[in-house]
Amino acid sequence: MNKILIVEDEEAIANLIRINLQHAGYSCEVANDGNTGADMLEKNSYDLCLFDIMLPGINGYELLEYAKSLNMPVIFLSAKGETIDKVKGLRLGADDYITKPFEIIELLARVENVLRRFHKVEQDIRIGDLEINVVARTVKKGGRDINLTCKEFDLLLLFMRNPDRALYREMIYEQVWDSPYMGDSRTVDLHVQRLRRKAGLEQQIESVYKVGYRFRSTML
């Protein structure tokens, strides 16, 4: 399980991030000021760090320097959204920069991307009798191999990394097809139908009216 350090002085935001990352299968620890964050970096090893920039005590830029010296990747989460601020953060060594406010699904995608870049993505994800090997890109259900196309695999991976969360069709399209959503939902709907049928997930992938789809981690 990937271990993530969150350093954010606004407790409500820190808790929201922690809860959603834990729900997605990550282990999280939280510090609400820079000094505590530095202490935690000194005592523990993390697969990824999420730092606010404007922190009490040691600021995010200083924490970045410390984390990078320990070979820990860093994503900045900041209300400082001007281009010059983003460029500064990235030039100092941040591996990504997300401007507040942000959608949780975007944060999850950015976290996954940085972990993948540093070869720290978990190899296996299991929900019930469904198992997906991220590196080998294989799927088993009840021990039986399921043959999926590339897009069907990416779609299932997106669902399994966001269990019990209603996902909008446009977000699904942009994440799986890596291009802007143009308003035609037929591509998403067709692939969901095929995935349901191939993997026997007719009940587990449910439609959400006027939204998109939800992947249930448990059956009612």
Summarised one tens digit per residue, pLDDT across range 115-132 is: 988 877 667 888 889 999
The model's pLDDT over 65-94, given as tens digits with 9 standing for 90+, comes to 999 999 999 999 999 888 898 999 999 999
Q: Under 8 Å CB-to-CB from 116, ≥6 apart: which residues?
A: none
Between residues 162 and 33, which one has the greater pLDDT?
33
Residues 23-35: pLDDT tens digits?
777 889 999 999 9
The CATH code that applies to domain 3-117 is: 3.40.50.2300
Query: Residue 35: how many CB atoms within 10 A of its CB?
Result: 13
Tokens 């959608």: give the residue.
103
Residue 149 reports pLDDT greater than 70: yes
Does position 220 have pLDDT exceeding 70, yes or no?
Answer: no
Report pLDDT digits (tens) over 171-195. 899 888 878 888 777 999 999 999 9
d(CA 75, CA 92): 12
Q: What is the CATH number of domain 146-215?
A: 1.10.10.10
Handedness of CA 179, 181, 186, 191 (dihedral sign): positive
Confidence band for 1, pLDDT divided at 50, 70 and 90:
confident
* Reported confidence tier of residue 165, pLDDT bands at 50, 70, 90: confident
Q: Supply 32's token pair.
A: 């609400």
Residue 50's Cα: distance from chain center in Å? 12
Pairing of strands 27-31, 74-78: unpaired
Break the chain into its structural domains and give their ranges: 3-117, 146-215
The DSSP bridge pattern shows strands 48-51 and 74-78 to be parallel
Nearest Cα to Cα of residue 214 among 176, 160, 138: 160
Bridge partners of residue 124, in order along the sequence: 133
Tell me whether domains 3-117 and 146-215 share a fold.
no
Of the candidates 106, 117, 190, 206, the residue with the CA atom closest to the CA atom of residue 151:
190
